[in-house]
Homo-oligomer: A and B are copies of this chain.
């Protein structure tokens, strides 16, 4: 079977290789990967900027697959089922612990950019029936991250204000899920054009952070001085202080990324008097993925897809992650249905 292997550092070290067909264990599933989608993590690993994993490494954590064979003790799935593998396979349910976060698809564990993959039956969820293969391949990383942020972590409720930053995939899913849950969304972006696009996804208030770098003041104005209930921060760096200033007393800041820098300065006196919860989150549980699928099915939510590429054009797909007009998920069709 065909597999795309990262053999060194840089996208030019991605090589197609032939690998033996894997066989499922007693509780295992053999999956044919139909579509996969990329995350910045994949690009960062390829560039050698994230982690240090043994090579050759098959990248990719997000996919839609078809179950084509099962082990004799499998009870949750049958051949023909459309599933998404979970990207943090050992984190099934409940809170995470160190052991459950260690293994990740696409580094250190082999990822989904290959035609076949074996996973345990505990390491997959049933895909939403109404989504296409490309759409269902877009869920497991950014989508479940957004679900976790709003639900178990921030306990979002209808009527609350949620701030989303920029238009990366996590922010777009957060916006869609916040709207689905009856919350009000304040979206920031440095691009006017992208702000117009998030408006059509349901963002009620738009802040052009190129024009208004002190965007937290605008959040306070919109919320009558109270502040947002939830800020989903993907920027980090110097922006985290603004996220904290934008949150209401007793509010939650969920810290998911650090596009603006890996280090943030925290002003303690102000934070202490405002009784904040700053929650960081990495990895995703299967339980949260399943709950997310239920929300998708209830709300007819459709992931935003930026572009779809053939397996042969995987390098183009990776390059697309760096495009300034990127908007949504980048999908690679690995073994699409005939």
Contacts and interface: CB of A to CB of B under 8 A. Distances in A.
Given A294-B160, A298-B158, A268 B272 contact: no
Given A250-B95, A262-B267, A263-B266, A255 B272 contact: yes
A96 interface: yes
Interface in A278-301: 278-283, 285, 287, 291-299
A26 interface: yes
Contacts of A99: 76
A279 B282 contact: no
B274 A276 contact: no
B272 A258 contact: yes
Contacts of A272: 255-258, 280-282
Interface string A173-199: 000010011111000000000000000
A27 to B, nearest CB: 9
Given A249-B98, A276-B280, A298 B184 contact: yes
B262 A264 contact: no
A94 interface: yes
Contacts of A182: 180-182, 295, 298-299
Nearest to A298: B159
B159 A296 contact: yes
B281 A278 contact: no
B275 A278 contact: no
B155 A181 contact: no
Interface of A: 25-26, 76, 92-99, 101, 151, 155, 157-160, 177, 180-184, 226, 236-237, 240, 248-250, 255-258, 261-269, 271-283, 285, 287, 291-299
Given A94-B93, A299-B158, A275 B271 contact: no
Given A159-B292, A181-B181, 11 more contacts: A95-B287, A98-B248, A151-B158, A236-B268, A255-B271, A257-B272, A263-B266, A264-B265, A275-B281, A276-B280, A277-B278
15 contacts: A93-B95, A94-B95, A95-B250, A95-B287, A96-B275, A98-B249, A158-B181, A158-B294, A159-B292, A183-B298, A255-B271, A263-B265, A264-B265, A274-B282, A277-B277
B279 A276 contact: yes
A101 B273 contact: yes
A267 B263 contact: yes
B264 A294 contact: no
Contacts of A285: 94
Contacts of A25: 26
Contacts of A278: 277-280
Contacts of A261: 268
Contact of A98 (B226, B240, B280): B226
B281 A249 contact: no
B249 A97 contact: yes
Query: Most chain-B Cβ atoms within 10 A of its Cβ — which of A93, A182, A269, A299?
Result: A182
